[in-house]
Structure 1
Amino acid sequence: MRKWIIFLTVGICIANITTAQINNYFPDTWKTQPESPRLTSDAPYTVVDNKLVADFNVSAQDKAEGCYQYKIAYKAIRINSQAGADSLHQLVLNFEPNDELRSMRVRAINQQGEITNLESKVRTVRLPGNRRAVVIQDLSLPVGTMVEYEIVVRYLYNTSGSEFLQTGLEAEHVDFRLTGPKNYTFRIQTTPGVPAIKDSTSGELQFHSISLNKVPAFISSDLFYTLPNLKRVDYAVVQAIEKKDTLKATWQQYGEENYIPYVAVSPQEFKKLERELQRLTFLARPMAPAQRIYLLEQYIKSNFTLVFPDETGATQDISWILSNKKADETGMIRLLNASYYLMNIPTQILFTGSRDSIPVTPEIPLRGVAKNVLLYFPTLNQALAPTEMLTRFPCYPSKWSGITALRCRDTLVGSQSKVLTDFITTPVVPYSFSNVTLEASLSDVQNPVWQVTQSFGGYPSSNIKTAFTKAGDVQETRNSLLNSLLPFQAGERRASNVAIENEVFTPYTLEKPVVLKSSLATPALVKTSPQEIRLRIGDLLGGTIPTETDIPTNNYPIQISFPYYQEKRINITVPSGFKLANSGNWNATIDDPALSYRIKCDQNGQQLTIFIIEWYKQNDLSGNSKLKFKAVQEKIRQIQKLEMVLMK
């Protein structure tokens, strides 16, 4: 039985913990004598109740410590079936770095109303990226049990937030409430399908509430990102009047606060950096700006180490960084940006999110969303990720491409430098740059040994180089990577003469492909008789990855990792007197402005050639392009199962 883990991603914060409990906002929620409701549902579990609170009525002490809001999350989950009981082993509650857990209650209520305290089963786990999770483990609860938990958190250094109102579990009731002083101005927006917000006031407080009933479980897909498509509410303080002070929170303010530390460089730092760049002889050669950008990034990321910030701030100082060959993330951004400035290559800074998370939205300043930094080159409309040590220009994490970003640059107004901000779409590398080719030749059908040459450029090249860089000199890992790149299923081929070139990052740009050559013996894929020869080459033409034909419903787009171009050419020497019998299966054309798939088969005497071109111009495919994508997937799936039949 699959072990289910129910995740709750928490972005929240709370103050005085003795009073900040869910019953203060929704009375009679955490009941003294609760009952497990009797529900009729085919789902293994049901969220009986989910209540979320963001409270901006924080104490003066908490505000002085950087807490601007408290958050409370309450959830009650009922186990509906034996399958649910068998598979629910733990609950995992994920916290963001700025979340400070102040209290937690968790209990189980059986069908007779008996309460079991589960706090002894709670553990805290450290996660990468300075994040934590609370795990409620070893549950082993019977059918009909309801698990209740409440968490209270202080949310630090942020006047905005988001709450998901939908998860992978169906929910009977979901409530959200935002409360704050009347002298605060909030901006709130919801995703499609969320009911209208109800606004009210009481005394010096304001309230904004959303209530949903019978929220269906969200059905995820491998073809699109789940989190951005969940029902959600986003909110932010845009103005707060505190006595005689008026505080405003805008994207312009966010840009100024974050941009200036990256671009403000002292004369001493510039002087030392200028001397360092003069030592780099490769920069003295005449070359295109794109190549200069790549070579400088390659040099710095190959010779400098990314470290955690030092308490003294030394890891952000360019002079110290150049002497010690180490920098934290801020230092790495400053070093690269200042270097391109001295090389007379204009840069701007983009703050963006990720395609698999909450997007940056111009209408509402969600400060915690725009956490990914790009150096943008406006004259080229390309970018690089300064703190991602295993990416190279013009490729940066593909999940950051094609989405909204806050752009920051400076300009002179009179004698003063001003920060200008606006919103642009992060650049998408052209599909033709990320090219994959395969040429396979078979000269003797009776002794099937394929001579194969594969090449990978752009993002595929970057991904391969990242994997081999991580593998280092560990031969077992390198062999595993090579095995994953070769065509045909591993058990149906015997590889020899395997050689790979340019598989790690070097001074050669990503336009120079990774090249993989091999000889592949596939005797099990050939069946011969005096009058007929059958070749199973579906894995060679269609790949070994199962195709996905369950196209997202409604308005959800198909989202691919990055646009790309793929070309395959198969050359087979056919025995004299044999001719391809099922040629119709090896010819097809599927065209759309956003994608194309073409396969063509020709036989000229004993030479049989199959040629495939497949490309996708966009990250997201919608409308008629989704139907064309499905047609391509169906054709590839057909080819994967197809045999080539040669008749005498």
Structure 2
Amino acid sequence: MKKFLIIPLILSGLLLTAQRNAIHENYTWEENPNFDLSQIDKSKGIYGLKHQILSEFGYDENDNFTEYVIEHYAIWLNSDEKIESYNKIYLPHSSTSLLLNSEARVINPNGKIEVLDASNILTAVDDETNRQYKYFAFEGVEKGSIIEYYYTIQRNPKYMGNKITLQSSFGKENVQFDLYAPKHLVFDFKSYNGLPEVSQDTTMTQMLHWEIDAKHIAALEEEELSAYDASREFLIYKLDKNLNNSTYDISSYGNISQNLYKYYYGEQSKKVGKQLEKLTKQASVANLSGELDELKKLEYFIKSEFYISEGAGDELSNLEEILDNKVANETGMIKVYTNLLSQNNVPHELVFTSDRSILKFDDDFEAQNFLTDVLIYFPELDTYLSPTEQGSRIGFPPAFLTDNYGLFIKEMKMGDFKSGLGSVKFIEPLGPEKTLDEMDIHVKFGEEDPTIVYIDMEKRMSGYYAMFIQPFMNMINKENRDELVESFAKSMNEDIDVTKKKIVNDDPFLFGTEPLTFQIEANSDAFIEKAGSRLLFNVGALIGKQIQMYQEKKRVLPLENQFTRAYNRTIIVEIPEGYEVTNLEDLTIKNSYSEEGKEVFLFDSFYKLDGDKLTITANEFYAKNMVETENFDEYRKIINSAADFNKVTLILQPKG
């Protein structure tokens, strides 16, 4: 997950009364472990026998505030697949952490213990990043063996909010979490998704100690269209109080908002001011006042001209160097937007939020780890812009950042004093009318050979369906454009001959205003079968293949979509002379689901026959992203209705 720079400015207070109790230095495993295998389902390929995470806050030999973390695992493996998956265990390594020690061993089914020596701890280099990493190489593991390992790292302390996930896709026994801290540092905790709450160990006097001791945590398997990471059992901890200097609410959004404002809106040099003026003119925005068209031009220019690097060098977040070189990291890109907008007095707010598929923003527990992604909100337009996502455009922020809460930071002025005022608000998702997939299809049968159908189709895409294509159409060459159009035609059937194609509204600036439109003329014999004198016409296939959801097991996790959406399809069929359709009622399919008297899911197909002109309408929409488990069958019914329509075959027989 992305981490944006937040400057706590409280370290000086934490350095008072350094204590070195070194819990981590005395940690070890049992010399002769006695894991209970009696409760294990032997049909499973994997089971967790121990999982412990220990976090100790303290001070190193130079009185620097630091965090020591121990992770200890014991895992029973009972299939070749799982043995293969766990024959390498990677050890944490980064520029902000130091691996202090590690141990690993294999306990064979007969109880024999084989401890890995130094030759089993290998070093490798990532070809792409050139970063070095270490890993345990387990050898000779057989079915029914236990691999056990633990390691200790020292890292820059994560005390403003850290997520610890304890649930996996396999069951676990003996799951523990411990946090130790000096007596003057009081932490706060919150458990999610059914994980037991953290309790304080009141018997310990030399340090503060909080813990979870869960005898068993059930497996949670990933399901289709689920926010799996956000649904697992986890906890978040944060530093709440420093009793040595009476500092409370250390991790509060009030403090964080002020620090973020200072970082992203700090006073700039005259040179930077001139650079920003030049940039505004280069973007063909003579006077940036906050009109939507102006902001669209500005965003298009910046996302075309600036390169976002994953590096962490100072020059990538220094505004003067960014404007000179047009290269920035993500925090640097946010600075470009905030300073441009601020210099031109465009009303806006900086929004910090999270990807709800990974971690849903908790509006009741203030912690920094919810602040992983950034949007810019324009209150006068009631719309959002993503400064860092190249594939997003104003009005259509990354969908998983919507339908979620966020920390909105706006400028507060008192005379010459400026600061950031933060408040938690909901980021409304866009309605289904904003993201449309529409099709108008006209079908004629061949006069000489009625098994060939001639198709005249217009497909229109808007909103999120168009966002990854329309803003970049000017970068797509003719060959790839042709392939794109062909792919839409062949979504009906691979055996189709496209005779004419055209793309309308391919100007990138039309995104969000006019739908990206594909006009296609084609013919095929793949939709008709002859059965004696009758013609079997698979009219439903014209809308393209549809998802069909099957659920053999009972649904466990809520269903979660990226965005709400709607589909509108009109099919006009000119029935060939001398034929009639005998099963028109097969076209009538309607299923819907309502909440509080309002339809939130709908599939509705119906027809109208006027002489030999058959008009078929098939509309579908999903006005809600998240579907509770108890309502899953209602959602599935709508999805499967479209799949049922896709299978509709009309029977045309000679009249009389």
In structure 1, give the amino acid aligned to 2:411: D
Could you tell which deviates more after superposition, 607-616 or 38-47?
Answer: 38-47
Q: How does 1:523-534 map to 2 (within 5 A)?
A: 523-529=525-531, 531-534=533-536
TM-score, normalised to structure 1, is 0.85
Could you tell which deviates more after superposition, 617-626 or 225-234?
Answer: 617-626
Q: Distance in 2 between matches of 1:22 and 1:521?
A: 75
Q: How does 1:72-91 map to 2 (within 5 A)?
A: 72-81=70-79, 84-85=82-83, 90-91=88-89
Task: Identify the residue that residue 496 of structure 2 maps to in structure 1.
Answer: 493
Q: How does 1:411-430 map to 2 (within 5 A)?
A: 411-430=412-431
Task: Identify the residue that residue 646 of structure 1 maps to in structure 2.
Answer: 652
Task: Identify the residue that residue 251 of structure 2 maps to in structure 1.
Answer: 249
Q: Distance in 1 between matches of 2:26 and 2:392?
A: 49
What SS does the corresponding residue of 1:338 show, helix, strand or coil? helix
Change (3 A) 1:632 1:33: closer
Change (3 A) 1:243 1:339: closer
Change (3 A) 1:467 1:34: farther
Q: Does the CA contact (< 8 Å) of 1:36 and 1:110 recur in 2?
A: no
* CA displacement at 1:298 relative to structure 2: 0.8
Task: Identify the residue that residue 158 of structure 2 maps to in structure 1.
Answer: 158
Task: Identify the residue that residue 62 of structure 2 maps to in structure 1.
Answer: 61
Q: Does the CA contact (< 8 Å) of 2:261 and 2:419 recur in 1?
A: no
**Residue in structure 2 matching 1:205, options 200, 204, 207:** 207
Q: How does 1:182-581 map to 2 (within 5 A)?
A: 182-201=183-202, 202-242=204-244, 248-266=250-268, 268=270, 269-278=272-281, 280-283=283-286, 289-307=291-309, 311=313, 313-444=314-445, 445-465=450-470, 473=477, 475=479, 481-482=484-485, 484-488=487-491, 491-502=494-505, 506-529=508-531, 531-541=533-543, 543-550=544-551, 556-581=557-582
Change (3 A) 1:228 1:174: same
Task: Identify the residue that residue 9 of structure 2 maps to in structure 1.
Answer: none
User: Can you list the C-alpha shifts for 1:364-421, whole angstroms capped at 9, x where unaligned?
Assistant: 3432331211111122221111111222111122111111111111212354223211
* CA displacement at 1:442 relative to structure 2: 1.5
**Residue in structure 2 matching 1:596, options 594, 598, 602:** 602
Task: Identify the residue that residue 48 of structure 1 maps to in structure 2.
Answer: 49
What SS does the corresponding residue of 2:62 show, helix, strand or coil? helix
Could you tell which deviates more after superposition, 208-217 or 545-554?
Answer: 545-554
In structure 2, give the amino acid aligned to 1:293: L
Change (3 A) 1:185 1:86: closer
User: Can you list the C-alpha shifts for 1:422-445, whole angstroms capped at 9, x where unaligned?
Assistant: 101224223211111112221115
What SS does the corresponding residue of 2:110 show, helix, strand or coil? coil
Task: Identify the residue that residue 172 of structure 1 maps to in structure 2.
Answer: 173
Q: Distance in 2 between matches of 1:616 and 1:370?
A: 29
Change (3 A) 1:429 1:41: same
In structure 1, give the amino acid aligned to 2:142: P
Q: Distance in 1 between matches of 2:91 and 2:391?
A: 30
* CA displacement at 1:562 relative to structure 2: 0.5
Q: Distance in 2 between matches of 1:18 and 1:131?
A: 34
Q: Does the CA contact (< 8 Å) of 1:241 and 1:247 recur in 2?
A: no
Could you tell which deviates more after superposition, 215-224 or 236-245?
Answer: 236-245
User: Can you list the C-alpha shifts for 1:120-155, whole angstroms capped at 9, x where unaligned?
Assistant: 264556599999976556756311111112122234
Change (3 A) 1:46 1:484: farther
Q: Distance in 2 between matches of 1:246 and 1:642?
A: 65
In structure 1, give the amino acid aligned to 2:205: G
Q: Does the CA contact (< 8 Å) of 1:36 and 1:78 recur in 2?
A: no
* CA displacement at 1:517 relative to structure 2: 2.6
Task: Identify the residue that residue 105 of structure 2 maps to in structure 1.
Answer: 107
The answer to whether structure 1 residue 636 and structure 2 residue 639 are counterparts is no
Change (3 A) 1:265 1:606: farther
The answer to whether structure 1 residue 612 and structure 2 residue 618 are counterparts is yes
Q: Does the CA contact (< 8 Å) of 2:587 and 2:648 recur in 1?
A: no
What SS does the corresponding residue of 1:594 show, helix, strand or coil? strand
Q: Does the CA contact (< 8 Å) of 2:123 and 2:132 recur in 1?
A: no
In structure 2, give the amino acid aligned to 1:579: E
User: Can you list the C-alpha shifts for 1:597-643, whole angstroms capped at 9, x where unaligned?
Assistant: 21112222221221111112222233775443121122123223332
What SS does the corresponding residue of 2:508 show, helix, strand or coil? coil
Q: Distance in 2 between matches of 1:18 and 1:106?
A: 25
What SS does the corresponding residue of 1:492 show, helix, strand or coil? coil
* CA displacement at 1:35 relative to structure 2: 6.5
Change (3 A) 1:305 1:452: same
Change (3 A) 1:349 1:282: closer
Change (3 A) 1:40 1:487: same
In structure 1, give the amino acid aligned to 2:459: Q
Q: Does the CA contact (< 8 Å) of 2:226 and 2:559 recur in 1?
A: yes
Q: Does the CA contact (< 8 Å) of 2:168 and 2:219 recur in 1?
A: yes
* CA displacement at 1:309 relative to structure 2: 5.6
The answer to whether structure 1 residue 31 and structure 2 residue 36 are counterparts is no
Change (3 A) 1:191 1:350: same
In structure 2, give the amino acid aligned to 1:616: Y
Q: Distance in 2 between matches of 1:125 and 1:521?
A: 54
In structure 1, give the amino acid aligned to 2:274: K
Q: Does the CA contact (< 8 Å) of 1:96 and 1:132 recur in 2?
A: no
Change (3 A) 1:579 1:435: same
In structure 2, give the amino acid aligned to 1:535: F
Q: Distance in 1 between matches of 2:235 and 2:87?
A: 30
Q: Distance in 1 between matches of 2:129 and 2:397?
A: 19
* CA displacement at 1:535 relative to structure 2: 1.7
Q: Distance in 1 between matches of 2:612 and 2:228?
A: 51
User: Can you list the C-alpha shifts for 1:245-271, whole angstroms capped at 9, x where unaligned?
Assistant: 889232222222222221224251223
Q: Distance in 2 between matches of 1:96 and 1:644?
A: 62
User: Can you list the C-alpha shifts for 1:179-222, whole angstroms capped at 9, x where unaligned?
Assistant: 21221111111114223433213122122111223322102212
User: Can you list the C-alpha shifts for 1:521-541, whole angstroms capped at 9, x where unaligned?
Assistant: 331331124531112243333
Could you tell which deviates more after superposition, 204-213 or 317-326?
Answer: 317-326
Task: Identify the residue that residue 146 of structure 1 maps to in structure 2.
Answer: 146
In structure 2, give the amino acid aligned to 1:302: S
In structure 2, give the amino acid aligned to 1:506: P
Q: Distance in 2 between matches of 1:443 and 1:537?
A: 12
Q: Structure 1: which 5+ residue stretches go unaligned?
A: 1-15
* CA displacement at 1:236 relative to structure 2: 0.7
Q: Distance in 2 between matches of 1:371 and 1:128?
A: 25
Change (3 A) 1:390 1:627: same
Q: Does the CA contact (< 8 Å) of 1:384 and 1:396 recur in 2?
A: yes
Q: Distance in 2 between matches of 1:350 and 1:429?
A: 17
Change (3 A) 1:279 1:227: closer
Could you tell which deviates more after superposition, 347-356 or 609-618?
Answer: 609-618
What SS does the corresponding residue of 2:513 show, helix, strand or coil? coil
Q: Does the CA contact (< 8 Å) of 1:458 and 1:511 recur in 2?
A: no
User: Can you list the C-alpha shifts for 1:265-316, whole angstroms capped at 9, x where unaligned?
Assistant: 425122332244245545469x9822222121111111222235674x4444
Q: Percent identity?
A: 18
TM-score, normalised to structure 2, is 0.84
